[in-house]
Chains A and B, each alone.
Chain A
Amino acid sequence: MNRLGRGASRWASAYGAGPWHLLGLAACFVVAGYAATRMVGAGIWMGFAVWFVGAVVFHDLVLWPLYSAADTAIRSLSRLPSRLGRARPAVVNHVRVPAGLSCLLLLVWFPLILRGAERNYRGAVGLSTSPYLARWLVITLVLFGVSGLLYAVRRWAGGRSDR
């Protein structure tokens, strides 16, 4: 019993976690490795590897720098008016939220909105992708419109409660 306990603690200090941790991760790598051999068999492993590496870094090294820079810009711009005059409800989220949602829709549907898929799409579906840009713009306008309206209501309500 004692020796077992000593063995376990020696293992834990050398490895950094219990043996089940290594067992689970080994199983993960075995399954993933097997699936990877299927990719090799299908002759697509090189394209797959490139896209997979791209997928690993896409959010952290491409999307995040873009949206955090945009967010910094929105925050610094929306801080300006509050320096003038008396306190108003913060405007930042009334820009940030509709802009973020609109960018989300563009991120997912850009092949339709920007017509990148036009050739395949027209051939298959028999219609053009041209309506999607207008739809996205209208949805974006509605998002900003609703957000602006909510801001107006908040300001009005805030002004009333000040009195």
Chain B
Amino acid sequence: MESRRAGRLRAGNGPPGPFRPGFWRSPLRGPWLTSVFGLVLLVGLAIVAVTGLLSYAAYEPRLPGNDTTPGKGLLGFYLFDWPTHPAWLYRVTQGTHVILGLTLVPVLLAKLWSVIPKLFAWPPVRSIAQAVDRASLVLLVGGAGFQFATGILNIQLFYVFPFSFYPAHLYGAWIFLAALAVHVAVRLPRAIRAVRSRDLRRELRTRLADTRPEPPDPDGLVPADPAPPTMSRRGVLAFVGGGSVLMFGLSVGQTLDGPLRRTALLAPHGREYGTGPNDFQVNKTAASLGVTAAEAGDGWRLAVAGASPIHLSRADLLAMPLHTYALPIACVEGWSTEQVWTGVRLADLARLAGVPPGAAEVTARSLQRVGYFGQASLSAGQVADPRSLLALRVNGADLSLDHGFPARIIVPNAPGVHNTKWVRELEFRREGR
């Protein structure tokens, strides 16, 4: 008992506009093009996902006070002790996470453009399987948009979202990854078949005049009534690829040192401060966190808590054995820079506090009054590394106030926010207490 109207709708004459197959006319849409974008995204997003999950492990969330998502439950199943070797690992993984994510924006947009007719497919549901599948696509598209949007806004410090970035981006990632995994499982064989249906090298030689639509496909990506092409298939690939090259080329500089850093014209943290020893990227100024020169001045004492608590002035620290290492500072926001730090080994301070390094964890507390990461805990492995310093100088000069004067932590391969600035207290304790 089907009404005539429903019968007409089912026959492909849905409501007018985008629901009619004749509405979509781009002669380039088709399974081949969609699958090319899809496979690029599959490889790229896998790398972005892995580096993102590694970043959470790098925060050592199992140590006191470090976890920005304490309600993670089972989602922390893979956490492990984050190593201090190689010192540049987090610089590379997090730089990759952010810069590759930015590079994939044009590909994601192209993919969404290429499949938009399917959003309006009529009838909207042909079977239970398709209904369930479309529900997962809501999670896929929403998850992708949410993760890209929150990441891109967060690295620009544009905190317009009504939630904390950390839980939203971590839990959002799992929603997105769940939908992505099942999307890949269902579509990958079809995508590989579609990519093999045309020869890429031949497409790259095909001019606009010879560009023809793909053969009709059961999914209805290829238009029923294609318009004459205004761009060749290789032109679209160059357009999207050019967008990626542009995104990459204008932002990758913020992960590099030397003259190439100046190429970061559209990246939040590739800024030039000058040529002095302290003129490198500042993440949070002292003023923004309520730290004044007065409290960081002569009256400052470092409280070292442990089995034998002790207070040290900056002169006391400078009289201890000093060590110098070139170490990167690498931020979760993707930027990084290597500088030469001089200071006292955390291991020496642990010994002074009466806790043997190798078994000593530490919580560093800052003079900062507001904002996140006023304290950070370091693992026994991080404290024991001889390159882990309470730095007093950088590039041969005293630290500037914005870089953490009178003393700051620098730990190889730790995320930037764990290199606590303006340290007022180091609380050493035996591991696991």
Contact = CB atoms under 8 A, between A and B. Distances in A.
Interface residues of A, number: 65
B175 A15 contact: no
A124 B186 contact: no
A112 B168 CA distance: 22
Contact of B106 (A50, A56, A104, A116): A104
A66 B269 CA distance: 30
B260 to A, nearest CB: 16
B293 interface: no
B283 A125 contact: yes
A35 interface: yes
The residue among B105, B178, B402 with the most chain A CB atoms within 10 A of its own CB is: B178
A5 interface: no
A53 B146 CA distance: 9
Contacts of B149: 51, 55, 58
B53 to A, nearest CB: 13
B73 A132 contact: no
Contacts of B105: 104, 107-108
Given A28-B179, A47-B163, A105-B266, A124 B157 contact: yes
Contacts of B73: 34, 38, 41
A1 interface: no
B128 A15 contact: yes
Contacts of B239: 97, 100-101
Contacts of B162: 44, 46-47, 50-51
Contacts of A52: 142-143, 146, 172, 175
Contact of B179 (A21, A32, A63, A112): A32
Interface string A108-138: 1101110011001101111100001001100
B155 to A, nearest CB: 10
B138 interface: yes
Contact of A90 (B175, B230, B247): B230
A126 B402 contact: yes
A107 to B, nearest CB: 8
Nearest to A121: B157
Contacts of B80: none
Q: How large is the interface on B (under 10, 10 to 19, 20 to 34, 35 or more residues)?
A: 35 or more
A120 B371 CA distance: 12
A104 B156 contact: no
B432 interface: no
A24 B182 CA distance: 6
B163 A59 contact: no
Interface in B210-240: 230-231, 235, 239
A104 B75 contact: no
B161 A47 contact: yes
Given A90-B230, A124-B284, A32 B178 contact: yes
B247 A108 contact: yes
Contacts of A38: 69, 71-73, 75, 167, 171, 174
Contacts of A93: 230-231, 235
B268 A29 contact: no
B285 interface: yes
B147 to A, nearest CB: 8
A105 B112 contact: no
A42 B186 contact: no
A120 B282 contact: no
Q: Which 7 A-B pairs have the closest CB atoms?
A: A16-B127, A55-B145, A16-B129, A47-B162, A111-B158, A17-B129, A31-B178
30 contacts: A16-B127, A16-B130, A22-B132, A24-B182, A25-B136, A28-B136, A35-B174, A38-B73, A39-B167, A42-B171, A48-B168, A48-B172, A55-B141, A55-B143, A56-B145, A59-B112, A90-B230, A93-B230, A97-B239, A97-B242, A100-B243, A105-B246, A105-B247, A108-B247, A120-B157, A120-B158, A121-B157, A123-B288, A125-B268, A126-B402
Given A27-B178, A64-B116, A127-B271, 16 more contacts: A24-B185, A32-B178, A38-B72, A38-B167, A39-B171, A41-B71, A42-B171, A48-B168, A58-B145, A100-B239, A105-B266, A113-B266, A116-B160, A120-B157, A125-B281, A125-B283
